[in-house]
């Protein structure tokens, strides 16, 4: 059987990307909502509060004096080896009782005095070994004098004493539990690495995970752990198993081999209703779905569950049978709005497509009509793109949806003619044009719209703020013959594997891309072979773990990169 993979050439500049800050006021946010959110003058939860507003009532710093700000203190994390690159930190610090809890670029946890920057404690979840991976923050829980920091690092969930930074012995295996346990695959052969912090409901820690986006990936189970003991309390299967709602949107045995459909962007919580809300990414493989024909619930969906039990409440799927990597990358915003003269508790979800989807929080019913619109069919043999996709009627999209020949650069006739020739060579029939063998122009691209930062809500002014990116891409499919590498040298096996698994981020020339995926040229000057091998197995930075995807073949890729 032939497999297919996608390769990008986003260095072909047909349009200039730009960033913009937009505001959405399609429904007025009810002023009383401001009484419910983040008024304790701290920042105790990822994105400020359980509702995911990203809002603070603090007003000492404002538009009249922000230009006068000066550095109050600087803390330099000491866990990076001398001479190494600093790395990329995406941690959103939380602050409780004057203490800041955050992660370094190498995924070490720190407690700092928020007034002075003085280190109170540090915790290394990797015990001195090379660590890393994306870490967007930690989670705080307390009951009386028992105060804990919940931290995920690699495939482990740690419970730390918030005052000392020491693991709590009564939690799991002397302070940690393996998140590989309870997944589909052998815990010793897979790697599940959450990137965004979980959320707390009573004594439960609820969290999604980051998995590979390639064949062999694990499914995106959402799970709840007892914060005191570390016991796994419930699991929600985002790739439904037999007898579960949504199972009939997949081939019969897809739950045994399909991965992804995972929540990697974080969650929101309605404490009063006891409901947890999250959004999911695409199923694997991202750009080819011959082996997962159907709508593929709960991929690319906003999902509401009973937080105590994990029982399904409602969902809305924003992309059917995703072939474009249109993940929903951020936690939903829980807002209260006045709609048609009535006050409604609602859910607002930003997206890579540049749409905001708004729903009744109790029922999942859209506040504005969302219409199923016909979209282009796939021309890949065996692929069946879903014939329609849901398009919100309101509010208008905040990312560009179309491109015409008039948009092609006309700086000079020669450059215009050259770019026009290239543009005409691609397949493009508007939004949701499927990837193709000839190459498909994608707008928005998989890095379009809004990413994991999502939306920020001002409940008093009735505004949702969204940072948006117009980022087109070229998606080209190529046939890969199964087992075609068996007679190749180790170096050439690595080259073939690189073309299958690495080229979409690091490019055919190994030089990376403009979105931040790093160059792998002269990698031997920055990493040892052992460090590179560990990164392949564990993930690091933007890169997920490939342990379950290319098991036994890691040395071939190392040979291609280093030799």
Beta bridge partners of 334: 347
Q: What is the pLDDT of residues 229-278, one digit of tens each?
A: 999 999 999 999 999 999 999 999 999 999 999 999 999 999 999 999 99
CB 245 within 8 A of CB 290: no
Q: How far apart are CA 291 and CA 254, in angstroms?
A: 8
Residue 81 has pLDDT above 70, yes or no: no
Q: How far apart are CA 450 and CA 353, in angstroms?
A: 8
**CATH superfamily placement of domain 483-562:** Cytochrome c-like domain (1.10.760.10)
Q: How far apart are CA 220 and CA 317, in angstroms?
A: 16
Residues 448, 454, 459, 463, Cα dihedral to 10°: -10
Q: What are the structural domain ranges in the chain?
A: 2-58+195-477, 483-562
Given pLDDT bands bounded at 50, 70 and 90, which one contains residue 80?
A: low
- Taking each helix axis from N to C end, the angle separating 529-538 and 554-562, rounded to the nearest 10 degrees, works out to 140
Residue 30 has pLDDT above 60, yes or no: no
Structure tokens of 29? 């946010």
CB 514 within 8 A of CB 11: yes
Give me the pLDDT at residue 112, please.
97
More confidently predicted of 413 and 99: 99
Q: Which residues contact 535 (CB under 8 A, 6 or more apart)?
A: 130, 132, 527, 543
Residue 513 has pLDDT above 80, yes or no: no
- What's the mean pLDDT when you consider all of the chain? 87
Q: What is the pLDDT of residues 264-316, one digit of tens each?
A: 999 999 999 999 999 999 999 889 999 999 999 999 999 999 999 999 999 99
């Amino acid at each position: 059987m032939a497999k297919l993979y996608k390769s990008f050439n986003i260095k072909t500049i047909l349009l200039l990307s730009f960033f913009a800050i937009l505001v959405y006021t399609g429904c007025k946010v009810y002023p009383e909502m401001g009484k419910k959110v983040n008024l304790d003058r701290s920042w105790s939860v990822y994105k400020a509060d359980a509702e995911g507003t990203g809002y603070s009532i603090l007003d000492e710093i404002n538009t009249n004096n922000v230009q006068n700000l000066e550095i109050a203190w600087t803390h330099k994390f000491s866990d990076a080896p001398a001479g190494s690159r600093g790395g990329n930190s995406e941690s959103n610090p939380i602050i409780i009782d004057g203490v800041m809890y955050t992660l370094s670029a190498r995924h070490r946890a720190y407690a700092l005095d928020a007034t002075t920057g003085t280190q109170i404690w540090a915790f290394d979840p990797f015990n001195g070994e090379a660590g890393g991976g994306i870490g967007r923050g930690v989670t705080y829980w307390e009951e009386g004098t028992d105060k804990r920091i919940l931290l995920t690092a690699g495939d482990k969930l740690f419970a730390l004493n918030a005052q000392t930074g020491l693991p709590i012995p009564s939690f799991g295996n002397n302070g940690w539990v393996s998140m590989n346990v309870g997944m589909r695959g052998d815990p010793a052969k897979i790697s599940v690495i959450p990137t965004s912090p979980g959320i707390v409901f009573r004594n439960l820690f609820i969290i999604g995970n980051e998995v590979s986006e390639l064949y062999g990936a694990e499914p995106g189970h959402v799970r709840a752990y007892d914060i005191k003991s570390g016991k796994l309390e419930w699991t929600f299967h985002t790739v439904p198993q037999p007898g579960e709602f949504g199972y009939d949107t997949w081939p019969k045995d897809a739950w045994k081999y399909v991965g992804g459909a995972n929540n990697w962007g974080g969650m929101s919580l309605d404490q009063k209703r006891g409901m947890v809300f999250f959004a999911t990414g695409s199923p694997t493989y991202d750009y080819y779905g011959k082996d997962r024909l159907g709508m593929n619930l709960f991929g690319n969906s906003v999902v509401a569950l009973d937080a105590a039990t994990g029982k399904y409440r409602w969902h809305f799927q924003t992309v059917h049978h995703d072939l474009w990597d249109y993940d929903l990358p951020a936690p939903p915003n829980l807002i209260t709005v006045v709609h048609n003269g009535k006050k409604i508790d609602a859910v607002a979800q930003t997206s890579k497509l540049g749409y905001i989807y708004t729903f009744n929080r109790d029922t999942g019913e859209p506040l504005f009509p969302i219409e199923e619109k016909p979209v282009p069919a796939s021309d890949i043999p065996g692929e069946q793109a879903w014939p329609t996709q849901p398009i919100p009627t309101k509010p208008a999209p905040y990312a560009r949806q179309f491109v015409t020949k008039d948009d092609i650069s006309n700086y000079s006739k020669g450059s215009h003619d050259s770019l026009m020739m290239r543009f005409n060579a691609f397949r493009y029939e508007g939004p949701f044009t499927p990837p193709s063998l000839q190459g498909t122009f994608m707008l928005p691209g998989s890095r379009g719209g809004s990413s994991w930062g999502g939306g920020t809500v001002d409940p008093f002014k009735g505004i949702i703020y969204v940072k948006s990116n117009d980022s087109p891409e070229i998606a080209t499919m190529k046939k890969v013959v199964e087992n075609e590498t068996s007679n190749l040298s180790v170096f050439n096996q690595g080259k073939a594997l690189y073309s299958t698994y690495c080229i979409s981020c690091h490019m055919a020339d190994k030089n990376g891309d403009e979105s931040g995926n790093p160059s792998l040229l002269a990698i031997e000057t920055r990493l040892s072979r052992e460090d590179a091998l560990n990164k392949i197995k564990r993930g690091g930075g933007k890169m997920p773990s490939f342990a379950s995807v290319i098991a036994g073949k890691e040395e071939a890729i190392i040979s291609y990169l280093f030799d």
